[in-house]
Structure 1
Amino acid sequence: MTTQHSKTPLEKLLAEMDKGGDFPALSSTIGEINRAVGDENSRAGRITEIILRDIALTKKLLRLVNAAHYGAFGGQPISTISRAVVILGFDAVRNVAVALMLFEHLQNHANVDLLRAEAIDSFYRGVLGRLLSSSAGVRDGEEAFISALFRDLGRLLARFHFFEQTERADRLAEEEMLDEQTASRRVLGASYDELGLAIARHWHFPSNILHAMAPIAAAPRKKANMSDNDRLQIVANMARELHRSVAGKTPEEQEHAIDVLYLRYREVAQISRESLLETAYKAAHALRAETALIDVNIGKSPLIQQLLQEPNGKTGAEDDASGEAAMPEEAQRESPENDATSLLAMGMQDMTAMMLGQFHLADIFKLVAELFFRTELFDHVLVCVLDRTSQSLVGRVGLGPHAAKMRGVFRIPLSFAPDVFHAATSKGQDILISDATADNIRDRIPEWHVDAFHAHAFLLLPIMINNQPLGLIYADKIDQPLQIPNHLLGLLKVLRNQAALALRQKL
């Protein structure tokens, strides 16, 4: 006789959250990104591919990255996810992407102003973590940002998915003078902290983030061998408590709460009472600058509106008070998301900058694929390179919903075949097939392409070196004709020529 497994309270909560809405999709995507970061063999291309599925996310991520890092690279904005990964690293891009996805999820579920305010305040806690990072010896400000944002993940998602139960937990805490964790465990069967850690594990977050999300000792002591994970935990908890020290309090109550916070953390962080209060105000101004870039109205948060007023009652400066250089207005107007023309122009500048230093061809091909894909002209983009053993052009880098499958079957022999692929590669001829089903074209499309791709239209741009085909850029449209304005087609060909130049440099 077999006994059926009885779900734990945590498992029941996660199962309930997975039942509806976009939480399952959010979990799947964040889990994919975290697994990709942990896979050293394919992480760069995989992270880019996952993020590029969502054009809106891509645009917002690049705006935030450029606002935070503009000026660090000679005033040259970062125009592609591929370039952001190369310059900033996998973890930094992951952290910004996950923060944006979580924030979008919260905003979509906020059906009352109270929850919209809590979504904004969650982002504020992340900014606090970034600003406090150096005081505790944390080198990576973006890691501090995501750790501080996630420190209250359990309570935050419980508020959005189990609102009535959290209200009951609040009443219970007040009536019986219980702490928040005890009250939430009584009502939900698991504490907010336990729920948050369970979700983070479900999303495959690394051990350092999980460690930072755990509660800290009542009065943390400085240790001679304090680890980076311990410092990150200090920042995440300090940011959470600084937020609670100023939220919903009068100035006098804020001062008292900050005194308590200072005494609690003074041994493990280089802080003062004055610097803590100043950080609370600076974070509000930094938040205003960042949320403006992603089209979020922070007016729903009473706390942020209060903090945007300086202690003397005057509104603070309009510029970003985070101490980082804001992107000039001209650069924002010319940012690559405005249209396909500026996207390709900025991408070419990115590629030129890469080619002036030490570069890998794989990074060049990823950049090319991303730029083609982000024009939104194509459903799939594949960059193919020569496999000398089989004397075939094979798919190496791909973007689009079926790109992984397409890479596996895309193989163009260099030997003669009476089809458009051989015509393109043998003669170095650019070919645009606007309707692959037309009578005069159908017989020139090889069966392997018809069976595997089902493309209505496609573009072939061979990469030729000394009249020899060493690569090919393939881009298709599945259900519609492919209509490319002449000026954009010209820019795509210039981009192909840059890829050929990069390939020549490596020969």
Structure 2
Amino acid sequence: MAHPTPQVGHQHPTSSVSATREQLLEKIRNDKNLPTLGVAITKVIEITSSSDDSIADLAHYILSDVALTQQILRLANTTTYRTAGGVAVTTISRAIFLLGFDAIKANALAALLVSGFRDQHHARLVRKELVQALCASVAAREIAKLHHRPNSEEAAVAALFKNIGKVLLAYFDHHRYEQIIRHAEERKLSTSQVCIEYLGCSFERLGEIVLHEWKIPETIIHAVQSLHFGELKKSNHAQEWLKQVSSLCEGIGEMLISQEQGIGDIHEQRRALLKRFGSALEINQNQFNSVVEHVQGEARQLALTLNVELNHHGKSNPPMIKESDFCTEFMLPAFDSQHLQASGRYPSGKPKNARDLLLAGVQDAAQMLSSSNLKLNDLLLLVLETLHHAMGFRFATACLSDLQKTKFVARLSVGERYAERQKGFQFLSTETDSVFQLALSNNVDLMVEDALNPKIQSMLPAWHKQQFPDTRSFIILPLVVEQLPLGLFYADRSKAATEGVLPDETALIKTLKGQLLTAMTRRGN
């Protein structure tokens, strides 16, 4: 599609344009929050692109950020994602299991992006671009489902950052942003064409510069680059496909924002997007319409979850999610995850509503156990997260026997300094006269309220006293199947737990352990 040649009267001296761009980039570099945002985004992408343990690593990262944890749990409990049974999601590990690893990754990045740019004076302009980014990301995930390409879910990440240049300009120089948008509309040019006149580079190039400084992977940076105008051809090159998807999804985001604001002909916008991208991405009319309808519902829910209004007029938007009225009316009520936070604590750190938190974890585990996609590590992580959250432990670990059955080694952990503490938690299977061996050989759950008790001190091995010198209360839950010790759960606090463990709490802890043993037995058969 041809575009008019930029009018000479709107051009600016090269030196002035360069100076303006450098001033903008300097503002971005000097902002106190953005370098941290860049590190956080890079970390999530790095975690989700690496090892087999990336699910646990992502869960640890989310759990380390209270606000991010709450946002992901809120999202997992929306009608878009809630299971048909209506059971509330109370743990990050089950949220990952339910929503899917890639969806959690994309939504965690969306939450980080929104939080990084929410608090400032020109919220309306930034909000428009953030909502567009959310819409684009959701659209990319839907389009990725239509294709079977390696790493196609990277499209959601690429689409999220496709308009990062516009977000940055709206945040740091809203007057210039408004000028560019207005002049583009008046002259029927693309916003990037006008941006070149003002900043000496397109919005895409501005985004590239910042993403490079944030050390975002090249695959994502390449995907935010501009495409040539006109109808596109199918490409078998993964990078080009990613670029096409992110550009289409940016267009879908722009179209939906225009629809919210009552601007333009929505049918013509749909037709133009499908004409340009349909053949290249092998998307037909029905598929395209389905993607757009899904985005309208899920992006609205995502925006509400992240406290970003879809428009600035305060209009109430009707819910787009379709549910069975009958099921909604008669469904058994579930725990509300918003109320399943630690409401008051004992001096030890244990929540006063530990029973409710444990019961929610048992429900999460039951849902996992009923799935054919269950992986043992997922359930291990869920049990650890439940113990840590529900009982207020500072550190919790699953310690399992090695293949030679010569020692027990901590394999998966959560909590404060979990990686460091996990390295030091291991002991020989021949260890005698220790509280750990006692629990394993007798298959008895031990709940120690005061670790300074002389009887306990005499049973604590030297390695534990050295590695965990400030432990004041702990539990040991042996994992034994048919008299074969497979390992144990251990969790501790730095304060004595004089409040003890109530009988119903004990029963729920044993139920959690039993659920895990069921999964272990099932895997062994």
Task: Indicate the RMSD between aligned Cα atoms, in angstroms.
Answer: 4.5
1:349 pairs with 2:350: no
Where do 1:28-427 residues align within 5 Å? Answer: 28-65=39-76, 67-70=79-82, 80-85=91-96, 89-109=100-120, 112-129=123-140, 144-161=155-172, 163=174, 166=177, 180-181=191-192, 184=195, 191-201=202-212, 209-223=220-234, 225-227=235-237, 229-245=239-255, 247=257, 251=263, 261=273, 264-265=276-277, 267-268=279-280, 270=283, 283-292=295-304, 294=305, 296=307, 298=309, 301-302=312-313, 305=315, 308=317, 316=318, 318-320=319-321, 328=328, 330=331, 333-334=334-335, 338-339=339-340, 340-354=357-371, 357=372, 360-375=375-390, 377-387=392-402, 389=404, 391-427=406-442
Match of 1:455 in 2: 471
Unmatched 5+ stretches in structure 1: 1-7, 309-315
The match for 1:495 is 512
| Aligned counterparts of 2:144 and 2:307: Cα–Cα separation in 1 | 25
Cα distance in structure 1, aligned partners of 2:478 and 2:268 = 69
Structure 2 residue identity aligned to 1:347: D
8 Å contact kept, 2:219–2:239: yes
Shift of 1:58: 3.3
* Offset of residue 219 of structure 1: 0.6
Residue 396 of structure 1, CA deviation: 0.5
Answer yes or no: is the 8 Å Cα contact 2:449–2:472 preserved in 1: yes
Segment drifting more, 240-249 vs 384-393: 240-249
Preserved CA contact (<8 Å) 2:358 2:387: no
Query: Residue 494 of structure 2 aligns to which amino acid in structure 1?
Result: I
- 1:477 match: 493
CA displacement, residues 6-35 of structure 1 (integer Å, 9 cap, x when unaligned): xx9999977754645443333333322222
Q: CA deviation at 1:457?
A: 2.4
Report if aligned partners of 1:79, 1:346 keep a CA contact under 8 Å in 2: no
Aligned residues: 483
SS at match of 2:477: strand
Report sequence identity in percent: 23
CA 1:107–1:264 in 2, change beyond 3 Å: closer, same or farther? same
TM-score if structure 2 supplies the norm length? 0.74
- Change in CA separation of 1:282 and 1:460 when aligned onto 2, cut-off 3 Å: closer
* Matched letter for residue 402 of structure 2: D
2:444 pairs with one of 424, 429, 452: 429
Instruction: Answer yes or no: is the 8 Å Cα contact 1:9–1:190 preserved in 2.
Output: no
Gap change, CA 1:364 and 1:295, over 3 Å in 2: closer
Larger deviation, residues 378-387 vs 163-172: 163-172
Q: Which amino acid aligns with 2:249?
A: A
What does residue 3 of structure 1 align with?
A: none
Equivalent position amino acid for 2:380 in 1: F
Q: Deviations over 1:213-253 (max 9, x none)?
A: 22221013333x54555444334223323444565675556
CA displacement at 1:490 relative to structure 2? 2.3
Q: 1:465-484 CA distances to partner (integer Å, 9 max, x unpaired)?
A: 34453211111223564755
Residues 247, 389 of structure 1: alpha-carbon distance in 2 compared, 3 angstrom cutoff: closer
